[in-house]
Structure 1
């Protein structure tokens, strides 16, 4: 079995949620690892929800489905496939909910050499069958050559 070659990346994560006539947005920058294993690519990074609450996030890409896996204060597993309804779960210390994503757009481009990579994802998200809005997620990735 081949050992995965890990590359360090710098990334900017942006999320905009539109629901009705309201919208919320948040963003953060962090460092992560990008690696290929088997037939899939993985992006792994840590998300700080607060000073004491952290979530390890992994995005797994197989060329068709982007799988989001979050582990820590929040547990979440959700797949995204363009034009399909996919099911997952969102778990906090207090509750667990079924989730549904209806993916409209999905673009994954990994950085190579000095070029930037990006992930763009647009989907409708439902928690226990209740729509929470349309999410627009953008990640900008750049190979981190400072290490």
Structure 2
């Protein structure tokens, strides 16, 4: 495992529900970037305004496969692979739900020095469908 590098993580996401309603979320937090084996990891705690409490979010980037893992009040594991449907899980105090993503666009330009990730995907959670757009910038502090 490489040395953990302190980074600034900027996250922008927009969720478009079937009804046409858009929810936009922005946050900027401190995190760490490190390599382990063939994968690059970006780990950060969600801000208080995320609605996720003190959730630890980890991005695992390995080639064209990105896994988003959240651990805290809710536990989530979501995979993004361009052109593929991936099934993950979303565990809450109210139960566990399947989380299905179909990624149409995935641009990963993150290395050991930082970079950017962009994704466009359809999300199905407990029967609700939405379109997600995600942009994450990682810069050394």
Scaled by the length of structure 2, the TM-score of the pair is 0.90
How far the C-alpha of 1:72 sits from its partner, in A, is 0.4
How far the C-alpha of 1:43 sits from its partner, in A, is 0.5
CA distance in 2 between counterparts of 1:121 and 1:57 reads: 17
Would you say 1:67 and 2:102 are equivalent positions?
no
Would you say 1:143 and 2:140 are equivalent positions?
yes
CA distance in 2 between counterparts of 1:120 and 1:134 reads: 14
Of 103-112 and 131-140, more deviation after overlay is shown by: 103-112
CA distance in 2 between counterparts of 1:111 and 1:79 reads: 19
Q: Is the 8 A contact 1:111 1:143 kept in 2?
A: no
Larger radius of gyration: 1
The structure-2 alpha-carbon separation of the partners of 1:132 and 1:49, relative to structure 1 and needing over 3 Å to count, comes to farther
CA distance in 2 between counterparts of 1:88 and 1:120 reads: 19
The structure-2 alpha-carbon separation of the partners of 1:22 and 1:52, relative to structure 1 and needing over 3 Å to count, comes to closer
> Any unmatched runs of 5+ in structure 2?
none
Q: Is the 8 A contact 1:108 1:120 kept in 2?
A: yes
Would you say 1:95 and 2:92 are equivalent positions?
no
CA distance in 2 between counterparts of 1:142 and 1:4 reads: 17
Q: Is the 8 A contact 2:29 2:47 kept in 1?
A: no
**Secondary structure of 2:55's aligned partner:** strand
CA distance in 1 between counterparts of 2:26 and 2:11 reads: 5
For the aligned residue pairs, the C-alpha RMSD in angstroms reads: 1.9
CA distance in 2 between counterparts of 1:25 and 1:42 reads: 25
CA distance in 2 between counterparts of 1:7 and 1:110 reads: 13
1:1-147 matches, cutoff 5 A: 3-20=1-18, 21-49=20-48, 53-110=53-110, 117-128=115-126, 130-144=127-141
